[in-house]
Structure 1
Amino acid sequence: MSTSFAKSTARERITQVVEGWFLTEPLLFAAWTMHDVVEHAGIATIRVGHGRIEFNPDFVRSLRRDQLRSVLGFEAMRILLGHPYGRQQPKAELSYLASNLSVQECLRTKLPIPRAREVFGDERYDDQYFEFYYRELAERGSDDESAEEESADDQPEQASSDAADKSGDDQQEPQSPEDEPQDDDSQVDQPSAEANAQQDAANTLESYSDPDQVGMENTGQWDNDDLKRDEINAAVREAAETDGWGTVGGAAKEQLLATLHPKLDYRGVLRNFRQSVLSVRRRLTRMKPSRRYGFAQMGSRYDFTTKLLFAVDVSGSMGHRDLRLGFSVISHFFRYGVESVDVIWFDEDIRGEPVTLRRARSTFEVTGRGGTNFAPVMEFIDQHRDYDGLVVFTDGYAPVPPKPKNTRTRILWLFKDEATYRQMNQGLRPLGRSVFLQESARQ
């Protein structure tokens, strides 16, 4: 640590780091300068919210220059991803951890913040999004709580015996003055000031990365702020137009650019898809006059004859909540123009014969729960070419299938969340349009 940096105040240290971004990290510099930087001794580390960046001066002074640069860069990326201005979730600790995972996937810093693969034990979780991580953490937390309750029910009653043993151990003879350890400066190694400073920095960085310690505090001011999000998006858009990314890597660019695109309205896409596949049959009738000749000629009546197939992914990666949501989507097709829907279930293969529904249903019995393979669904519509449209509801964890020979049946891929949509959308474009269910629809 340089002498000038060591003697600087906490605010001066922050200023030195941020001013260094002006030429090398223009996007991070822009995110930082959108906020008022305020000293706040009442918080443990550093936090963002309501247009302010608040910091504890002791926390800032405890960090080396490289550590402080990493922390400030981490908070700047959190701002650019919009987490403090539109990503509220009910559990603060999980929200902070999900945000940390998302930012760490973008920056891959040396801070004591784990990567997603270390938390979930699978490389499939790399480079995902805030909402994806939050949902996965929440689901795992629910599973852990259930397992702990079951484990507690199976534990034998040992509290009283353990207490007795501990009480016996505590009743020992008092030590005589001769037995007490003597202070001897010549024999005890005193840690150096530098070692103490390094230990303090490690402790504060651990606190900064621990959602149980600072999660509630650091997300307490997160709130919807359309104006601030627009200001941040303008900076990201300018960086994209002028190549002002600095050292921001490819994964971070992809996520930042994704924030510029408005959310897809899946209900609107479903309506448009339904209208695109509607088919009608004209028949003559004496009960209706001709528009041109009146009752002298037979009139025409048009009946909807749309035939729709709904394929539901019932693989092991699709939870029961996902399946209930997917089946509820079917009801949208009974509101106008579609009199019946054929439903099939699939994982590695088609499970059973199609079930024809003539009204919305809320409960289904499904089989399967294996892996996911889209190829059997494509083969199914090649063998059954009379369908006007196919909707595939899935989590997307499967290879892109061969394009079907059947060009009559329009295909819509309906993904359960945004993360899987963005992962699979590009590869599936030749097969049909894609859309995802918004988070609001899942709550």
Structure 2
Amino acid sequence: MSQSFAKSSARERITQVVESWFLTEPLLFAAWTMHDVVERPSLATIRVGRGKIEFNPDFIRSLRRDQLRSVLGFEAMRILLGHPYARQQPKAELSYQASNLTVQECLRTKLPIPRPRDVLGDERFDNQYFEFYYRELAERASHDEPADDDPDDPDAPDSSKDDSSKQEPSGDRADPPQPDDEGEAGQDSPDENDSDDSDGQPSGSSDAASTLDAYSDPDRVGMENTGRWDNDDLKRDEINAAVREAAQSDGWGTVGGQAKEQLMATLHPKLDYRGVLRNFRQSVLSVRRRLTRMKPSRRYGFAQMGSRYDFTTKLLFAVDVSGSMGHRDLQLGFSVVSHFFRYGVESVDVIWFDEDVRCEPLTLRRARSAFEVSGRGGTNFAPVIDYIDQHRDYDGLIIFTDGYAPVPPKPQNTRTRILWLFKDEATHRQMHQGLRPLGRAAFLKESAR
């Protein structure tokens, strides 16, 4: 078996691994067989996108059987999670790194790809999802970027080294000489220093871009390997159908519990709080009609006064400042207020509460990023409900909270619409059913699935 694998072409090696999945890894096998497998020597390693799996034959031949199995399984899981077909982000290198962290957390392979805790420095980053990792990486990258690049600064990084380490897009690289399949067996002769589990593979490759280190390095191959990622609803539906079939028939193979949770989560569309905010804003908009000679009547022109409509929406934003709400949670909550100044809302009244309402309303006519708040006790929603019962002129109330409090009584005020905005998905799942009679609910930050 070892001799057969050693003499096989790159495509044959891939086929041997994938065919071995037919009985043992039906879900990975299904993901792989949805794609055309294309040899592309101009690539550095291997990539997925637009219905194709493209590979550099030199890279494939440089891998031992166990390494190849891990790489192909890694790409199959990337397909199943939908990263090449639904998860576009502005920065290619960070997208690739976030995808790698997500897949590695699902599979825990022996590939030289770190776990999130190794990159982000804390175990609390375990078992998260693609968008979460991308946001964390992007935020840290923005903090690390220098203010400007001074070529005369002796402490500035050497850009020539950075540029040389990055992989150029596939269209700009010259294709390296590629032997045909008949000559590959001769190049696969084992080195006398290889270990027994190497299957007769050479221990490395002279091309640094055709190594596992390059495959795991977003700076080298991130742009190239995400270059064909694009929204594709049809392919995503096809992948989701395979995941559903695996769930119904217990056809997971050796896919572990964390990977199962991630895959099942892809079947359910995530709640877009921005869409909920837009719909809520539209539902509470109110206008006042007034006559003016500065605008002609549509029917009679300047012979009659025209109409002008002014928005008169009055919105109340209540922020939970209890001890369980962290500083970053409060910053995130207050940042939501800015969405309502873009159209249709001229001012927002803000109050904060814990066991009681802690301030008089603060009227904002533009977005603000800093507030001084008091409180930090427990959480009680009842004082906020009492507040809108006493002040019935509000069109809408948004309560931003972590949700750890009893469900309050239904308000007597039926005019003011209520939106419950939870800081994360976990508290939303716990509370939204009980709060449904009082209004709609959404959450800002998704939790691990």
Compute the TM-score of the two structures, normalised by the length of structure 2. Answer: 0.68
Q: Which of 300, 317, 320 is matched with 2:328 structurally?
A: 317
For the Cα contact (< 8 Å) 1:310–1:341, is it kept in 2? no
**Which whole-Å CA distance do the structure 1 matches of 2:120 and 2:377 have between them?**
26
Two-structure CA RMSD over aligned residues (Å): 4.2
State the 1:310 CA deviation.
2.5
Higher relative contact order (CA 8 A, sep 6+): 2
**Which whole-Å CA distance do the structure 1 matches of 2:113 and 2:315 have between them?**
52
Closer/same/farther in 2, CA of residues 241 and 275 from structure 1, 3 Å limit: farther
Aligned to 1:428: 431
1:328 aligned onto 2:338: yes
Aligned to 2:32: 32
Aligned to 1:132: 132
State the 1:153 CA deviation.
7.7
**Which whole-Å CA distance do the structure 1 matches of 2:408 and 2:334 have between them?**
31
Aligned to 2:84: 84
**Which whole-Å CA distance do the structure 1 matches of 2:16 and 2:145 have between them?**
46
Residue type of the partner of 2:101?
A: L
Which secondary structure does the structure 1 equivalent of 2:367 belong to? coil
**Which whole-Å CA distance do the structure 1 matches of 2:278 and 2:41 have between them?**
54
Aligned to 2:4: 4
Which secondary structure does the structure 2 equivalent of 1:353 belong to? coil
State the 1:111 CA deviation.
1.1
Aligned to 1:233: 240
State the 1:271 CA deviation.
6.8
1:250 aligned onto 2:254: no
Q: Which of 248, 262, 270 is matched with 2:269 structurally?
A: 262
**Which whole-Å CA distance do the structure 1 matches of 2:330 and 2:99 have between them?**
23
Listed as ranges, the gaps of 5+ residues in structure 1 are 157-190, 279-303
Deviations 1:209-258 (Å, cap 9, x if unpaired)? 00011111111111121211121122122222222222222222222222
State the 1:77 CA deviation.
0.9
For the Cα contact (< 8 Å) 2:39–2:57, is it kept in 1? yes
Which secondary structure does the structure 1 equivalent of 2:202 belong to? helix
Which secondary structure does the structure 2 equivalent of 1:17 belong to? helix
Which secondary structure does the structure 2 equivalent of 1:391 belong to? strand
State the 1:428 CA deviation.
2.8
State the 1:18 CA deviation.
1.0
Residue type of the partner of 2:139?
A: E
Closer/same/farther in 2, CA of residues 334 and 306 from structure 1, 3 Å limit: same
Residue-pair matches, total? 364
**Which whole-Å CA distance do the structure 1 matches of 2:20 and 2:368 have between them?**
59
Closer/same/farther in 2, CA of residues 36 and 74 from structure 1, 3 Å limit: same
Listed as ranges, the gaps of 5+ residues in structure 2 are 157-190, 196-200, 286-311
For the Cα contact (< 8 Å) 1:334–1:340, is it kept in 2? no
**Which whole-Å CA distance do the structure 2 matches of 1:390 and 1:270 have between them?**
11
State the 1:192 CA deviation.
3.8
Closer/same/farther in 2, CA of residues 113 and 271 from structure 1, 3 Å limit: closer
Closer/same/farther in 2, CA of residues 235 and 316 from structure 1, 3 Å limit: same
Closer/same/farther in 2, CA of residues 72 and 274 from structure 1, 3 Å limit: same
Deviations 1:392-443 (Å, cap 9, x if unpaired)? 446x6xxx62314544398744357xxx42x43322335535424599xxxx
State the 1:123 CA deviation.
1.8
Q: Which of 214, 219, 227 is matched with 1:212 structurally?
A: 219
Closer/same/farther in 2, CA of residues 5 and 118 from structure 1, 3 Å limit: same
Q: Which has the larger radius of gyration?
A: 1
State the 1:128 CA deviation.
1.6
Aligned to 2:372: 367
Residue type of the partner of 1:67?
A: Q
Which secondary structure does the structure 2 equivalent of 1:194 belong to? coil
Which secondary structure does the structure 2 equivalent of 1:317 belong to? helix
Aligned to 2:290: none
Closer/same/farther in 2, CA of residues 305 and 11 from structure 1, 3 Å limit: closer
For the Cα contact (< 8 Å) 1:330–1:360, is it kept in 2? no
Closer/same/farther in 2, CA of residues 385 and 91 from structure 1, 3 Å limit: closer
